[in-house]
A = this chain, B = another copy of it.
Amino acid sequence: MVRVPYDDLYAKLREAMLRLGMADERAAVCARLFAETTRDGVYTHGLNRFPRFAAQVGNGTVDVNAEPTKVAGFGGLERWDGHSGVGNLNALACMGRAIALAKEHGIGAVALANTNHWMRGGTYGWQAAEQGLFAICWTNTLANLPAWGAATPTLGNNPLVIAVPRMDGHIVLDMAMSQFSYGSLAAYSKREQLLPVDGGFDTTGNLTRDAAAIEASQRALPVGYWKGSGLALVLDMVGAMLSGGHATYQIPRESTRETGLSQILLAIDPSAVASAYELTKTADGIVGSLREATPVDPAKPVRYPGEETLRLREENLRLGVPVDPEIWKQISDPSAQ
């Protein structure tokens, strides 16, 4: 691991996007989203995801210059088509539209079909929270999670994002419906380290903390067993039905061919019903009550979702953003592409 200044990371990513054929302004925004994700400590979905993204552009799965268009709408609800464009740019545009709808109608939602991997889901939560709005959004994914009681993956891990705007640090929950991602399982099995809690089944059908055994069985565990399984299913249904796009079972199973995703971007503007003073007071009261909880380990105070993000963001801006040397070399040296 090496650390590089944020501005260098952004600049190299921008050049890389331009080399992929992305138009100038789009390249700048797309590079910023990738760079911010790494800056915020979500290493799996920033720079480290670039090689797969480039492969998806190369094989035609992602159309770098396609822009989303509105298909239908009524009041605060709209349906958009992503035209196989860049996943993070599509989601950013559609959350932007949901925010505009919420400002006009109090609450607004865009159902987006035919889009690509949105990279870090939290991005669109932060986007709304920065403007003082609540956000609820989710995406479906390729099938990578067995439904409860099933031996084969039929559900996506369908990340769900809920963002709460707050003066002293937004609260942004970004959770996939699998207890651990396959990326995370790979990291544990490489380190030959046990998972902190059960993460799936081994090939004999027993719950296990052995990541390699779960990689072998391909039976990762939904969060809360039958509960996360049900939640993943209904998120897929709402997304596909409202957007008119594909459901998980229709999405290509190969990671570099994963496309045709369906997403929901929903925003709520609290300023329509509450004062900033009241919102701050309520939010701070809740965070304060969390701080007063007795921690199991006195050295580890209880944290809210997004709190670690703010700490890592500050640290990475100060010390430089950690990058994988191999991938950093690839995007720094165009001839290696």
A residues lining the B interface (CB < 8 Å): 71-79, 104-109, 111, 134, 136, 146-152, 154, 160, 162-164, 171, 173, 175, 179, 197-198, 205, 207, 223-225, 227-228, 230-231, 233-238, 240-242, 244, 247-250, 266, 268-270, 272-274, 278-279, 282-283, 285-286, 289-290, 292-297, 300-305
Given that A75-B76, A76-B75, A296-B205 are known contacts, is A171 also in contact with B233, CB under 8 Å in the complex? yes
- The 9 tightest CB contacts between A and B, nearest first, are A223-B224, A77-B106, A74-B272, A249-B289, A75-B105, A150-B293, A75-B106, A230-B305, A74-B106
A242 contacts which chain B residues (CB < 8 A)?
134, 268, 270, 273-274
Question: Within the oligomer, what is the number of copies of this chain?
Answer: 2
Among A77, A163, A274, the most chain B Cβ lie within 10 Å of the Cβ of A77
A278 contacts which chain B residues (CB < 8 A)?
244
Are A73's CB and B106's CB within 8 A?
A: yes
Question: Who on chain B is nearest to A236 by CB?
Answer: B286
Are B283's CB and A241's CB within 8 A?
A: yes
25 contacts between A and B (CB under 8 A): A72-B272, A72-B274, A74-B272, A75-B75, A76-B76, A78-B106, A78-B273, A134-B242, A147-B302, A148-B302, A149-B302, A150-B293, A150-B295, A151-B296, A162-B234, A164-B234, A171-B237, A173-B234, A175-B230, A224-B227, A236-B286, A241-B282, A242-B268, A242-B273, A244-B274
Assembled-state Cα–Cα distance A268/B268 (Å): 14
Are B293's CB and A152's CB within 8 A?
A: yes
Report the minimal beta-carbon distance from A227 to chain B, rounded to whole angstroms: 5
Report the minimal beta-carbon distance from A168 to chain B, rounded to whole angstroms: 13
Question: Who on chain B is nearest to A154 by CB?
Answer: B293
A207 contacts which chain B residues (CB < 8 A)?
197
Other than the known A107-B108, A241-B279, what 6 A-B pairs have Cβ atoms closer than 8 Å?
A: A74-B106, A150-B302, A223-B223, A223-B225, A241-B282, A248-B289
Are A223's CB and B227's CB within 8 A?
A: yes
Are A75's CB and B305's CB within 8 A?
A: no
Name the contact of A269 in the complex, choosing from B71, B77, B160, B249 (C-beta under 8 A).
B77
Report the minimal beta-carbon distance from A208 to chain B, rounded to whole angstroms: 13
Are A224's CB and B179's CB within 8 A?
A: yes
Are B240's CB and A305's CB within 8 A?
A: no
Name the contact of A304 in the complex, choosing from B173, B228, B230, B240 (C-beta under 8 A).
B230
A106 contacts which chain B residues (CB < 8 A)?
73-78, 109
Assembled-state Cα–Cα distance A233/B170 (Å): 13
Given that A105-B105, A106-B73, A147-B290 are known contacts, is A164 also in contact with B237, CB under 8 Å in the complex? yes
A223 contacts which chain B residues (CB < 8 A)?
223-225, 227-228
Question: Who on chain B is nearest to A247 by CB?
Answer: B286
A241 contacts which chain B residues (CB < 8 A)?
134, 164, 270, 274, 279, 282-283
Are B109's CB and A268's CB within 8 A?
A: yes
Are B225's CB and A197's CB within 8 A?
A: yes
Given that A154-B293, A242-B268, A273-B111 are known contacts, is A233 also in contact with B75, CB under 8 Å in the complex? no
Question: Who on chain B is nearest to A73 by CB?
Answer: B273
Given that A109-B268, A223-B227, A242-B270 are known contacts, is A247 also in contact with B304, CB under 8 Å in the complex? no
